[in-house]
A and B are shown apart, each in its own frame.
Chain A
């Protein structure tokens, strides 16, 4: 008994000593700002917050990816200082907010359709074909409707296994939004949401889970954020957009989706979905991601955080985003966002 207590004391002393001796990188007067939200932008934010510390040493911004809805909930309960989401807050959520929440767009991304086929060929897929694959109506890769748009590719007689996200996610919301808009049958049968009832397929946890499933099982078709397909070296499909072109997901294609609608974005207070955007070369499953900034942010934190937001709209930050496989915002949107940031009346 005594030995156990001694054990604990030794451990405690060691821990606290450890924490104290190692060079503390938090200066005594630093303020910690906490945020929670989507996992999609987490790598980007981790880099931005780290880079910004070189500019403003008085704050340390701590962000964790717990999911868009989770982030919004934490924001509404007041347990974090800011939120982040791949989808704008809906009416129900906004009604619960104690103060106005400003949606500041930070970057953009693409949801890619990735697959596992022998030889990893590039595929062209049309929206109705995609929807019917996810509905379970097209069950084989060498179905006539698939080969119709892929003349030069030898598609095998292999079953299509759909991989979806088992955890609720903004990526699913964007994907199902696309399916809802392009397929009336999907709209009535399944609908749009962060979690839906998938007609067929298996669920993997997180982008990494779905990417893992695609990698391991021949014949799988799944949707993942582009950065996961790239880092796992998975092939991605070129999707036929509203203008009729087959577009491969890339930063340029995502930017094209936004550039065609900058005025709409600004008019909608930045809360616009980029799914199925018109415009040549636009990738149809694109989306923005936002930082949710409440007007009732504590006084000591609001000012410095606004400083960070302004920096995020600048060239340095947006170039870093591009280097990490996120698409930068169009210049007009950034200017408008800067304007909005300056106008936020923190309480």
Chain B
């Protein structure tokens, strides 16, 4: 029993260290943000002004930009990633599985600044020349598709993010699907299920919590992404429902303005934005865990 106690203690000590480190991080953010929050109060979260010269700061435009771009990216990436993972575990011929999986994983290593530049020189022109005329030309009366043909804006940013988080979600989903025991698949097929039905019943249904975990990891990356987003989103703290109008995100404004922030007021406003981002991340995670808990109790094998 003794060695187990030592092990237990080590784990607990480690857990305390990690939690302690996180609390230190939060305290550091809080301390830096204090001056700005002292001035604006909780209203900081829903104020829309961002004027470094006048010293007026509010987080709402960035909050909007982060949430919309990340959720849109997840919406675009999740079906593609899950599909790709299924393809790699259950449909593709065995020979090409490993090479394609490697290709997808390798792209998780591309630095975000490279994605950003690819976004400016390849994706933005693509949106400007094909996507915008298609959507705005035919459905431009909808506020969603109303907007200038610059190629930079919310949609382009969401697309870059989607490309960036796909490797993560695919790789994790693939591992989750691989972990589904073969006997489960065989049982389904043995009962006469088609290929799709086997996948749906044996693989997807049992992997829901794993899929969610993968999506949360992807979403986490999207929420905190700075370089690539800032290069294609247009960096304009406006709130708009249009996909083609420029926007700004919390992570990108911190990255953009921190190095050159003049004055303690500006600096602490940026730290306050960091705090809001942390809050958003917490809410997303609590929500996700709650969903996982409730779906798991229904489908647990």
Contacts and interface: CB of A to CB of B under 8 A. Distances in A.
Chains A, B in direct contact (C-beta < 8 Å): yes
Contact of B235 (A68, A166, A192): A166
A195 B151 contact: no
Interface string A159-190: 10100001111100000000000000000001
Interface stretch (B49-57, B72-80, B87-95, B189-197): B49-57
Contact of A202 (B53, B236, B257, B263): B236
Contacts of A159: 148
B230 to A, nearest CB: 5
Given A68-B260, A202-B246, A209-B120, A193 B236 contact: no
B259 A167 contact: yes
Interface residues on A, range: 20 to 34
B26 interface: no
Nearest to B226: A205
A195 B150 contact: no
A195 B235 contact: no
A204 B124 CA distance: 13
B53 A203 contact: no
Given A161-B150, A168-B261, A204 B235 contact: yes
Given A166-B230, A196-B53, A197-B53, A202 B152 contact: yes
A340 B147 CA distance: 56
Interface in B19-71: 49-54
Contacts of B17: none
A216 B256 CA distance: 22
A197 B248 CA distance: 13
Interface in A77-94: 90, 92
A227 to B, nearest CB: 19
A203 B266 contact: no
A205 B53 contact: no
29 contacts: A66-B259, A67-B259, A70-B258, A92-B263, A161-B150, A166-B230, A167-B257, A167-B259, A168-B257, A168-B259, A168-B260, A170-B260, A190-B53, A191-B53, A192-B53, A193-B262, A194-B260, A194-B262, A195-B266, A197-B49, A197-B53, A197-B54, A202-B152, A203-B234, A203-B235, A203-B236, A203-B256, A205-B256, A216-B120
Interface of A: 66-70, 90, 92, 159, 161, 166-170, 190-198, 201-205, 209, 212-213, 216-217
Given A69-B261, A217-B151, 11 more contacts: A92-B263, A167-B257, A170-B260, A193-B53, A196-B53, A197-B50, A202-B150, A202-B152, A203-B246, A205-B116, A217-B150
